[in-house]
Structure formats: C-alpha cells, structure tokens
Amino acid sequence: MMDQQGVQELFHSLDKFSWQEEIRKKEPLANKTSVRVGGPADLFLTVHDLDELTRLFEIIREHQCPWFVLGKGSNLLIQDEGFPGIVIRLAGDFSQVAQVSSRQLVVGAGIANIQASRIAKKNNLSGMEFLTTIPGTMGGAAFMNAGAHGQEMKDIVEWVEFFSETGEVETIRAEYLDFSYRHSRFMQTPGIILKLGLQLQVDHSEAIGKREKEFIMRRKGSQPLDARTWGSVFVNPPGDSSGRLIESCGLKGKGIGQARISPKHANFIENVGGATFQDLLKTVEYAQKEVYRVYGIHLKMEGRIIPELTSKQGK
C-alpha cells in the first residue's frame, strides 16, 4: 500500500510527461460505479493509446504502485476508503471498433457492451444480442466471461490482445483463455485486455433487433434496472439459482443500513440512499449466512471488491 509520500512521488514522475488527459488527485469513484458507493482514488488517469499505456506502466513498475482498470463500474464494489494507488480508464484507441469484416468484429476493450452490440447489428452481425442487457465494457465482459440468456462471452470471443504488467503485448486465442462460468484466465493473470476479436454470424439487422428487444423486456420485467446496484451479487451454485435460494429464505427487502436485498430480484442488492461499502458488504454476508444456515450452500460473490478484503475486514 502506498503512503502519501509515495503517491506524491508517483504523481511527480507522471507529471514529467505529456498525457492527453490530466492526472487527477483524490478522484471520487462513487459516481463512476453503478451502485454509487466508494471512496476516492489517490490518482486517476485516462489513457488513449498503447504508447501512453506503456509509458504509464514503466512508471508503475518503477514505483511498485497498486493499480486497477475501471470500466463502467458495474460488478464492482469499491471500499469507502477508496483505492490506494492509480485507477486507469481506457479511452481513445481502446474504446473503438477497430475492424468489421463479413463475420468478425474487432473491438477495443474500453467500448461499452451496448455500443459494440449496436455496431454489430448495424453490420448485420449476430451473436452479441445478449450483451445489450449487460452493463459494462467489452474488456470487463471478457474478464469475467459475462453471460445472459443462455450465452456467454466464450461463445463469441476468438482471440484477445493482452497487455502484461511487464509491458508485453500478446494475442491469445480463445482456447487458451480458460473460460468457464463467470471465469477467465485474466482473473489470475495481472495485466489489461486491450482488444477482442469476435466471431459472429450473419443475420438481418431486423431479426437481431427483435431478439435484443425480447432480451431487454425480459430483464425489465425481472430485475431492478432503475435501482442502484452493481449487478448480480452471487454466481449461481450448480443446479440452482442464488436468487431463488435467497428469496426462499424470506430475505427480499431486508438488509443492513441503507442497503437492501432487492424486492424485485433477490440476487441484487440495492443502495436505497447513502449506503456505505460496509452496508453493502454486511448485507452480502447476511444473505450468505442465511442461505448457508438453511441449505448448507455457500454463495460466492460474482463481482470484485476493490481493494481486496483482508482477513481482518471480511467475515
């Protein structure tokens, strides 16, 4: 963990170079997350191209600075103390569609899921419809093998361009990405997804749009899309549904502080106004404890906690 002297030294090293966007100190992060909870980042920088990213990581390695990439802030809980290091956001080259061909789309990891899926539809390419109901970026979706409506990222990803902590860029084919339910190799491999090659199918844009509308209506009817949540809280245990287990324990509408288990869908926790990280975490633990008490099943969180909990913080 960096102390304030370390943060100042890092800032001065960064400030010696020209960046397309300013380096921000004590940047609020709560308004950059879908649940609207979390403290500030010591430093925050948006990078626009590989040259900037390479230069940034030379400095990060020199200072041994903690870092993480923030996309659209879904599937993420940031602690109230904030992040002791630098938070990176991908823009520019990393948030565009790089190539469209007859059956393939190449997209930057920073582009929003819904924007990428719209471009696919415009080009009569099918396979990304499920992503219209998943908030976040394409890099984040690949990181956790996001899925909905019977499809997952592993069904469409052909290759990924990956930037390692040491500054090396490699292209990794899908068979080496260790995709499984809400998991990929990137969860254990420090680095950043830069670009994705997607293998899609040709279809009429009208048919694609119809499927998208069906998925969106299904989500609106079953999930609290207007509430402040961070998405699905728990992965589903084998052969069952986390939402069903929580609901059957009578937990809908219950919670801690200003956090509650959604009355609409029990696998969502809502910030009903001014919730803290601890409110959310204690509500997560409350649901886990009750489900384990009744069913003997431990529910595993789907999203990430930033910074990761220490043994003294959790449970």
In the three-class reduction of DSSP (H, G, I as helix; E, B as strand; rest coil), residue 287 is classed as: helix
The set of catalytic residues is: 182, 232, 302
In the three-class reduction of DSSP (H, G, I as helix; E, B as strand; rest coil), residue 127 is classed as: coil
Strands (DSSP E) found in the chain: 24-27, 41-47, 67-69, 76-78, 83-90, 97-100, 104-108, 125-126, 147-148, 151-152, 157-164, 169-173, 191-199, 201-202, 255-256, 259-261, 269-271, 304-306
Spell 10-32 as b/e; 16+ CB within 10 A means b: beeebeeeeeeeebeeebebbeb
The dihedral over CA atoms of 219, 183, 157, 206, expressed in degrees to the nearest 10, equals: -10
In the three-class reduction of DSSP (H, G, I as helix; E, B as strand; rest coil), residue 163 is classed as: strand
Residue 40, both tokens? 């500030």
Residue 169: name the closest of 137, 195, 197, 199 by CA. 195
